Amino acid sequence: EEPLQRPKKELSTTKKDRVNHCLTICENIVAQSLRNSPEFQKLLGIAMELFLLCSEDAESDVRMVADECLNKVIK
């Protein structure tokens, strides 16, 4: 008997998804409640890494939002 083959999940995200992810992460990382968390430094590092990664995206809209998020978090 052959096992049933499931189609692989599509791992790529749309431009809209990437923009929304950046905005959601940005909104949460600047929230005062998160700044008091013992995990804040780790989460900030991950967020900055993601914004830098997205700032090299093929889509200009994603790059622009990532740049805005970087500026907002740094300020």
9-18 pLDDT per residue, tens: 555 789 999 9
1 has a pLDDT exceeding 70: no
CA dist., res. 7 & res. 47, Å (int): 31
Measured at the CA of 69, the angle between CA 71 and CA 12, to 5 degrees, comes to 145
Residue 1: count of CB within 10 angstroms of its CB: 3
CA dist., res. 44 & res. 39, Å (int): 9
For the chain, the domains span 15-74
pTM reported for the whole predicted model:
0.78
34-61 pLDDT per residue, tens: 888 999 999 999 999 999 999 999 999 9
